[in-house]
Amino acid sequence: MRSKKNREWENVCMVANSVVSNRQARLATKAYLKRKLALPLTESEEKSIAHLTARNEAVAGPPDQEAPTFNGSRKEAKKIRIEISDHLSGEQAGKKVIDDHNASDSLVKFVTWLYETRGISILEKLSRHRFSRGVLLSKSPHADFAYLKNGSHESEYTNKPISNSGFHLKTHGTTTDKANDVREICQCLSLPAGAVTVQEVEKNEWLKELLA
């Protein structure tokens, strides 16, 4: 029969092993995230995920997929950040910022904001304009956003409704395409220079700062 001291020692060992296991798991998790974000790893972090196999896959997505950019062999997911000056937005607390996780959502929010603050005439004007990527706004998306898939089958570029306006906004394309759409919209509407700024930023920028 085990003595009391032996049982106590076994309990201490179990606790110690659990602590080591949890520490290793936290280290491996941090290392995995840092590798995904293209951050430099310490030697101990490299060892903690040595059993993982790095995979670099080139995926051909549909025309409405936001294509990632690459830093070496690593993908970097991007989004757009739109800043509207307080003079233009009328926000008493300062400038208005649109910074959704997906670039398409930020683009839709920006155009919706234009509609809600300036009325339907803004959307009508934009629908008549021919942008570098063609028609962006339409009340007939099935016709205006149609394309031939694989050369024969007709499909439709991804689009989203703008509130209750009856207009639909084409949202396919890369993050860079959407950033350029915002700039072209501002030019079409003759908005004051600097009133609206847009930039591409990394989706996980805050996480990079946390793990650095």
Total domain count, the chain: 2
Reduced to 3 states (helix: H, G, I; strand: E, B; else coil), residue 1 is: coil
- Same domain? 83 vs 167: yes
Structure tokens at 117: 């603050």
Q: Does residue 68 belong to any structural domain of this protein?
A: no
What is the rounded distance in angstroms from the CA atom of residue 39 to the CA atom of residue 35?
A: 6
- Same domain? 13 vs 101: no
- Same domain? 24 vs 127: no
Q: Walk across the sheet containing 168-170 and list its strands.
A: 137-138, 168-170, 159-161
CATH number where 154 lies: 1.20.1380
Q: What is the pLDDT of residue 89?
A: 75
**Would you place residue 122 in the very low, low, confident or very high pLDDT band (cuts 50, 70, 90)?**
very high
- Same domain? 80 vs 43: no
Which is nearest to 96 in space by CA: 84, 107, 105? Answer: 84
What region, left, alpha or beta, does residue 194 occupy, with left being phi > 0 and alpha being psi -120 to 50 degrees?
left
- Same domain? 80 vs 172: yes
| Number of helices followed by number of strands (H, E) in the chain | 8, 10
**Cβ proximity of 35 and 48 under 8 Å:** no
Q: Does residue 117 belong to any structural domain of this protein?
A: yes
- Same domain? 108 vs 151: yes
Q: What is the mean pLDDT of residues 149-159?
A: 79
**Would you place residue 88 in the very low, low, confident or very high pLDDT band (cuts 50, 70, 90)?**
confident
Q: Does residue 55 belong to any structural domain of this protein?
A: no
Q: Does residue 91 belong to any structural domain of this protein?
A: yes
**Cβ proximity of 154 and 148 under 8 Å:** yes
- Same domain? 79 vs 25: no
- Same domain? 131 vs 96: yes
- Same domain? 185 vs 141: yes
Domain that residue 40 falls in: 4-48
Q: Does residue 58 belong to any structural domain of this protein?
A: no
Q: Does residue 67 belong to any structural domain of this protein?
A: no
Q: Does residue 101 belong to any structural domain of this protein?
A: yes
Q: Does residue 54 belong to any structural domain of this protein?
A: no
- Same domain? 133 vs 204: yes
**Would you place residue 57 in the very low, low, confident or very high pLDDT band (cuts 50, 70, 90)?**
very low
More confident residue, 181 or 94: 181
- Same domain? 39 vs 111: no
What is the rounded distance in angstroms from the CA atom of residue 161 to the CA atom of residue 167?
A: 6
Q: What is the mean pLDDT of residues 59-77?
A: 49
Question: What is the chain's mean pLDDT, rounded?
Answer: 78
- Same domain? 31 vs 114: no
More confident residue, 12 or 138: 138
